């Protein structure tokens, strides 16, 4: 199997093993009660019947061809090696991971709403429009374009640099700072892998993954103003009231064209 074949199978594009699957669970306007959930169920059945049967191995081969997983992994491995070398474990090394894992869904929500869905703003002659926001609009326009699924590497350089500065100076000691970087790297890999896998033709099997898969597909194909978490379903969205019954939400005309800027 060639690299092109792997990418095609991962994306589900027409040059994979059969017709593409851009017609998703929530591409149509709402109809009778239960319409959105019926369409999600139909999409799941389509994947179960698909001849592609994308395996995790094939998905992983494509995943590691992109720069952001490697960049995050390097951060994770370097921070972990340094933390193990320094030793001197304490209670803070337990508290930092617990707090970070607990607040991660909220952080996802805030980043998604205020950074990725940033609406360009005019300040005099200057338009403020970030790389992350531009790339995210492109991702909404074509959710099955694999490179657009990942955090842009040029933006990730600055994110990692900022994280390293926080780890070095925000904790009063390098040890908990390194623990922070280890957990941040692990959460970053989980985010990239989960987001990538949702946009492939990998079949949802477990109940947990099906819930996460549905949550994100509703965001892309139903209404971009709801369902902002990616690695969890119904956590921060429930807290912040962006997890409605999908059948109660009208299909947004700008789900693929954020802010109607296209």
Q: Which tokens in the block code for residue 154?
A: 């040029």
The pLDDT of residue 4 is above 50: no
Does 202 fall in a domain?
yes
**CA 140 – CA 207 distance, rounded (Å):** 25
Range of the domain at 155: 69-260
The pLDDT of residue 218 is above 50: yes
pTM (predicted TM-score) = 0.84
Cβ neighbours for 132, distance < 8 A, ≥ 6 positions apart:
115, 116, 118, 151, 152, 155
Does 159 fall in a domain?
yes
Helix (H) or strand (E) holding 53: none
Give how many domains the chain has, as a whole number. 1
User: For 144-190, how does the pLDDT look when each residue is reduced to its tens digit (9 = 90+)?
Assistant: 999 999 999 999 999 999 999 999 999 999 999 999 999 999 999 99
- Asked whether the beta carbons of 30 and 36 are under 8 A apart, the reply is yes
- pLDDT of 262: 72
- pLDDT of 261: 87
Does 35 fall in a domain?
no
Helix axes 35-49, 207-221, angle to 10 degrees: 120
Residue 89's CB: how many other CB atoms inside 10 A? 12
Does 124 fall in a domain?
yes
- Asked whether the beta carbons of 112 and 133 are under 8 A apart, the reply is no
Q: Which tokens in the block code for residue 132?
A: 């992350």
**CA 172 – CA 235 distance, rounded (Å):** 31
In Å, how far are 101, 113, 188, 217 from 239, measured between CA atoms?
16, 14, 22, 20
Does 5 fall in a domain?
no
Q: Which tokens in the block code for residue 5?
A: 């074949």
Does 171 fall in a domain?
yes
Residue 195's CB: how many other CB atoms inside 10 A? 18
Does 57 fall in a domain?
no
Does 115 fall in a domain?
yes
User: For 25-65, how does the pLDDT look when each residue is reduced to its tens digit (9 = 90+)?
Assistant: 444 444 444 666 666 666 666 655 554 578 999 999 999 99
Confidence band, pLDDT 50/70/90 cuts, at residue 105: very high
- pLDDT of 181: 98
The pLDDT of residue 5 is above 60: no
């Amino acid at each position: 199997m060639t690299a092109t074949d792997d990418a095609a199978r991962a994306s589900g594009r027409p040059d994979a093993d059969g017709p593409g699957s851009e017609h998703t669970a929530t591409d149509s306007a709402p109809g009778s009660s239960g319409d959105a959930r019926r369409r999600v169920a139909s999409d799941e059945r389509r994947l179960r019947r698909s001849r592609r049967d994308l395996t995790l191995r094939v998905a992983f081969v494509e995943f590691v061809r992109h720069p952001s997983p490697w960049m995050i992994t390097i951060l994770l491995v370097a921070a972990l090696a340094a933390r193990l070398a320094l030793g001197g474990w304490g209670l803070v090394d337990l508290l930092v991971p617990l707090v970070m894992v607990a607040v991660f869904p909220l952080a996802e929500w805030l980043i998604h709403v205020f950074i990725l869905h940033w609406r360009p703003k005019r300040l005099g002659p200057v338009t403020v429009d970030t790389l992350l926001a531009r790339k995210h609009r492109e991702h909404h326009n074509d959710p099955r374009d694999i490179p657009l699924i990942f955090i842009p590497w040029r933006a990730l350089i600055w994110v990692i640099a900022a994280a390293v500065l926080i780890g070095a100076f925000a904790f009063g000691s390098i040890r908990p700072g390194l623990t922070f970087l280890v957990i941040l790297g692990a959460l970053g890999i989980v985010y990239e892998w989960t987001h990538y896998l949702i946009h492939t033709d990998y079949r949802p099997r477990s109940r947990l993954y099906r819930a996460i898969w549905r949550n994100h597909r509703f965001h892309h194909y139903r209404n971009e103003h709801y369902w902002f978490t990616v690695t969890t379903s119904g956590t921060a969205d429930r807290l912040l009231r962006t997890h409605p019954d999908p059948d109660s939400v009208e299909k947004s005309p700008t789900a693929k064209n954020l802010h109607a800027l296209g």
